[in-house]
Structure 1
């Protein structure tokens, strides 16, 4: 949890050296820790070059065996990453590891969400991920080639990471300074001019006082919409239902609905409607006539007699040799007619129900939607990763067609057009020439490259997203397809597994500036490197972006929190961070502040008082120190600040009619 390294064990164990496991080893070694590994069999060639040099110890065998785990140093490990391709092996090994080391962090590869939750309660200090679900949003968003770089939900609020290219007519152009774009719902992440590319890790490599100009590129995170709690959604649905019902019962709407039904209905449905109206009229008329003719019977008895006649029960009333009660001839004749009409109506009802049953049976065999004509996404490969990507694209309302080598079960993605067969032949049937994007995520990276080259030849303007596994192969694909987005699913997921191994809760991940950015949650503990620090120190010192802060479990969470909040034990903090940012938090290595604020003069006594409060709040110094500065103007605030932090303090003091300026510390 970002704790100090003092007294901590920096040894990690990775079980399963498939693609995901190898990437996990590589990422963990970036933290300069000890990494041991267990693999079921010796792999002749590793996907990651020099993997043997990265591992401090490699054992061959079954990671479920306690003796082998002990040989791998399980008792001294801080965390174990169980990332084999067999979920049963991972879960069994998790129990074995917990029995040998009650305090070890368990990071498990598993797609069983309900089981994972139960295991977390049973084992403790446990977290599980599905390796194909974590990177799926990155693949889906890369195919859209739009402003959206990331999309996730936090505290029932949907957050979107967007990149905007400023045009001359943009509402920010020549009107806003960069710091003015930061609002309670938005934070600027990156900014650069058209001719200057920023460093890869550049959350704060921009000047807040820069004016937005045409040609600029700005990346920001923004809360776009709130997701209502379930009980509010239920109340809203009820309210909408009653409003719609009242509107539907208005005569004009009733007449319009009947006219539309009559135009669109089948002959059987029309007959059923007319016969229902006739039978309802006969039923009501029969009840009224019997009640009027026999005033001594109750209304319920009259309705019962009418119902018996309507469902063909004439013989129950008049089936004897002699009529059991006196009845006028016209009412007796009406009863006969009502029984005949009821028998006909039941026949019509059976016919209508038969038609509906047959229609529902054919509905199961309903053909998938047709292949979109243009501006659609072609998704090649419908394994677990492909299906997850397809689901996300459908949620984003993107026209989509899937391509797979073998037939897909009709119940899988039923609302998506799917073309099956030989992958090379099927490309001619998906309107590739007019497609907007193609995502290629089969399990064969050579086939992925071949399909990508074919797609580029057929449609040079198509936005290509290609899945690869081997890092060396990735470079070759990038050279052949410079405009394509070449991505490794396991390389993306490994960052989340490695971050979780250090105790962090990885909520989501996305690609930004060709680097994996993690949405990471911290629970502040007494020995945490974050404890007692201002959010400004954490943000600018470690190079992370705080996007949520919650003071205690029972307090409301705040999105885009202010820099002047000081963290305490029990607080919850969610940040955007690259792996290098997580490393700095883990090691407690913060960038040194190099700026100070020179206070020249104050307009009034009130400005002196308010200015001291602002200095104490924003710089983190004591209120006594701040008052001392304000009582001996001109003077310099003694606390060293980060540039963004110091610039904010200068702006706040100027608002309070205190003249101040930024100076670089000597």
Structure 2
């Protein structure tokens, strides 16, 4: 396996392939700054990769770095290069590799490298990280066609999806969006159906817990604590038990569960009609002070018209007409009129002088309101129960789209006026506060004191923490979800917030931790539908062809279930020739096949032509997708046969 990248996802993916799937990995990373000696902390033990074989390219080979943690599987070979040119890919061994993952942050870099790699090895399984969805769809077709042209005898079905385009933002967004909102649980999509994993408190005495579609996990011993379900991971108590059997569920008294359901969000919503009405902000045309000024002027005009009617004895409509003429200085001076009429004319002239600046202010404010409405909306004063989303980068943009799909009210906070997510927020009519979240008053403008959840998704761990602490100082029981990369830092944050705010819910999520299993699964040749975090662990959902898997083929649903490893959830009822390659997408109109069948009979026997959707732990999926032993490897300590014996 070859992994090319320039950020944390490359290192998480490398560790996943080496430690979970026991693969030989070559990691291509950017060249370290000049003069830096020894191990780069980005590439060393901090990511659990251990010592490796270094090949600096194209400059001389540096000293082999040392790490505090020895590798648990094969060693990782390193190649340093400024960019993944054809010469660099050849030096990394792409021509003889089984799979290549291109996970640079820049889409253009991944695109260029993918075209070069396909020319070097037509049979190479490519996994490409792209943020642009439309470009990704076209790129998959283009690279698969290029593989067929370069090698007419190639069978893409045999290669099991030659090209797969994934986005770490799309992979992590469902879990982040669902974690942010109380009541939605953790979400994954399969065959257009939105599934959620709901955390449930332990049932009372004499009560029976509803398992939903199935029970995915037994939570740790601290799940009854309002501070959250992640305590065991940080306090050393009993951790979660993934994919338990019925006996374990029945025996686990006092422990919460994670159940899989297919339900929709039932919290506060913003309906489509409400959003359509908000597209024309008539209520924001005039400020409160301007509305009071206009009301006072109308009252004054009405009082003058009434006084003119009483004074002159004329018809009320004529008296009102004369009053308006006096206000606009159109009427003749009342020289020969009684004193009362003259006084009313003077007062009407004064009111007319007051109307002019008010009308000018109304016109300017109305123009400003419409211009603001075409750019960004302000949070309504009456908004409450919403989610405050910090950061509209790649991750924040995808999470915002997910939240709005569930019709959850959102207020965004972004410091960069050129952020990529502002266009989406504008099109969805989502209120946005522009400003640095660490500055006083920014979160207050987002109505944080009336919000239910804070979702901090900036790229800086310290910024996310600072925002959470400031928000908790305003509202102590605020639900906070922080994007944190480093596990040790997440542990310290959890313990601190739990001690300071024991009644508040705190969650931390790592985008690379959620996305790496999906990329690793795609490199092994299967489409991972999604990942659901259970405390600080991960459950994967994958579509698996039964053929070639003795653990599944010819066995009933009950017999194929292995507690703690995998569990079959659904069956793809479509004919093999009509199956869609990506079950994580919504079916297009007119797509053949009845889709996925849930609630399978326990006695159903899995056939070789079946395709199933299963939930699996990372090691369980690795066992199912594990390839045949590498016969080219020697019998040394790094060989696969010795690893399997271990």
Residue among 31, 37, 61 paired with 1:41: 31
2:589 is the alignment partner of 1:569 = no
Contact 2:170 2:398 in 1 (8 A): yes
**Length-normalised TM-score, structure 2:** 0.61
CA distance in 2, matches of 1:583, 1:201: 18
1:604-643 map, 5 Å: none
What is the Cα deviation at residue 166 of structure 1? 5.0
Stretch of structure 1 that moved more, 396-405 or 28-37: 396-405
Q: Which residue of 1 aligns with 2:522?
A: 500
CA distance in 2, matches of 1:464, 1:570: 45
C-alpha change, 1:378 and 1:484, in structure 2 (3 Å) is same
What is the Cα deviation at residue 366 of structure 1? 7.5
What is the Cα deviation at residue 13 of structure 1? 0.6
CA distance in 2, matches of 1:384, 1:361: 26
Q: Which residue of 1 aligns with 2:170?
A: 133
CA distance in 2, matches of 1:496, 1:16: 16
1:431-580 map, 5 Å: 431-482=447-498, 484-526=506-548, 530-540=552-562, 543-550=565-572, 552-553=575-576, 556=594, 557-580=596-619
Q: Which residue of 1 aligns with 2:116?
A: 96
1:239-638 map, 5 Å: 364=374, 367-370=377-380, 373-407=383-417, 411-414=423-426, 415-423=429-437, 424-425=439-440, 426-482=442-498, 484-526=506-548, 530-540=552-562, 543-550=565-572, 552-553=575-576, 556=594, 557-587=596-626
Q: Which residue of 2 aligns with 1:51?
A: 49
C-alpha change, 1:451 and 1:477, in structure 2 (3 Å) is same
What is the Cα deviation at residue 429 of structure 1? 2.3
Aligned-partner SS, 1:446: helix
Q: Which residue of 2 aligns with 1:200?
A: 240
What is the Cα deviation at residue 126 of structure 1? 0.8
Residue among 199, 202, 215 paired with 1:163: 199
Aligned-partner SS, 1:120: helix
C-alpha change, 1:120 and 1:107, in structure 2 (3 Å) is same
CA distance in 2, matches of 1:451, 1:195: 26
Stretch of structure 1 that moved more, 537-546 or 501-510: 537-546
What is the Cα deviation at residue 480 of structure 1? 2.8
C-alpha change, 1:117 and 1:399, in structure 2 (3 Å) is closer
Q: Deviations over 1:33-79 (max 9, x none)?
A: 21111123127431734535255211112554333222222233221
Residue among 113, 116, 123 paired with 2:136: 116
C-alpha change, 1:109 and 1:367, in structure 2 (3 Å) is closer
C-alpha change, 1:24 and 1:397, in structure 2 (3 Å) is same
C-alpha change, 1:531 and 1:63, in structure 2 (3 Å) is farther
Contact 1:27 1:494 in 2 (8 A): yes
CA distance in 2, matches of 1:563, 1:167: 25
Contact 2:221 2:239 in 1 (8 A): no
Aligned-partner SS, 2:619: helix
Aligned-partner SS, 2:122: coil
C-alpha change, 1:550 and 1:380, in structure 2 (3 Å) is closer
Aligned-partner SS, 2:424: coil
Contact 2:131 2:167 in 1 (8 A): yes
What is the Cα deviation at residue 544 of structure 1? 1.4
Stretch of structure 1 that moved more, 56-65 or 130-139: 56-65
CA distance in 2, matches of 1:384, 1:582: 28
Contact 2:569 2:600 in 1 (8 A): yes
What is the Cα deviation at residue 468 of structure 1? 1.9
CA distance in 2, matches of 1:193, 1:527: 32
What is the Cα deviation at residue 442 of structure 1? 1.2
- How much is the aligned-residue C-alpha RMSD, in angstroms? 3.5
Contact 1:400 1:417 in 2 (8 A): yes
Contact 1:372 1:400 in 2 (8 A): no
2:69 is the alignment partner of 1:69 = no
What is the Cα deviation at residue 210 of structure 1? 3.5
C-alpha change, 1:568 and 1:162, in structure 2 (3 Å) is same
Q: Deviations over 1:97-143 (max 9, x none)?
A: 22222222111100222222222223231111111221122222222
Contact 1:15 1:63 in 2 (8 A): no
2:187 is the alignment partner of 1:151 = yes
What is the Cα deviation at residue 193 of structure 1? 9.7
C-alpha change, 1:371 and 1:448, in structure 2 (3 Å) is farther
What is the Cα deviation at residue 373 of structure 1? 4.6
Aligned-partner SS, 1:398: coil
Count how many residue pairs are aligned between Structure 1 and Structure 2.
438
Stretch of structure 1 that moved more, 118-127 or 487-496: 118-127
Contact 2:242 2:564 in 1 (8 A): no
C-alpha change, 1:195 and 1:39, in structure 2 (3 Å) is closer
C-alpha change, 1:437 and 1:558, in structure 2 (3 Å) is same
Q: Which residue of 2 aligns with 1:592?
A: none
CA distance in 1, matches of 2:103, 2:248: 43
C-alpha change, 1:22 and 1:588, in structure 2 (3 Å) is closer
Aligned-partner SS, 2:247: coil
Contact 1:62 1:68 in 2 (8 A): no
What is the Cα deviation at residue 541 of structure 1? 5.9
CA distance in 1, matches of 2:94, 2:240: 36
What is the Cα deviation at residue 167 of structure 1? 5.6
2:33 is the alignment partner of 1:21 = no
Contact 2:549 2:624 in 1 (8 A): no
CA distance in 2, matches of 1:158, 1:360: 37
2:218 is the alignment partner of 1:188 = no
Q: Which residue of 2 aligns with 1:246?
A: none
Q: Which residue of 1 aligns with 2:587?
A: none
C-alpha change, 1:373 and 1:550, in structure 2 (3 Å) is closer
Q: Which residue of 2 aligns with 1:84?
A: 104
Q: Which has the larger radius of gyration?
A: 1
C-alpha change, 1:463 and 1:193, in structure 2 (3 Å) is closer
CA distance in 1, matches of 2:195, 2:622: 25
Contact 1:150 1:161 in 2 (8 A): yes
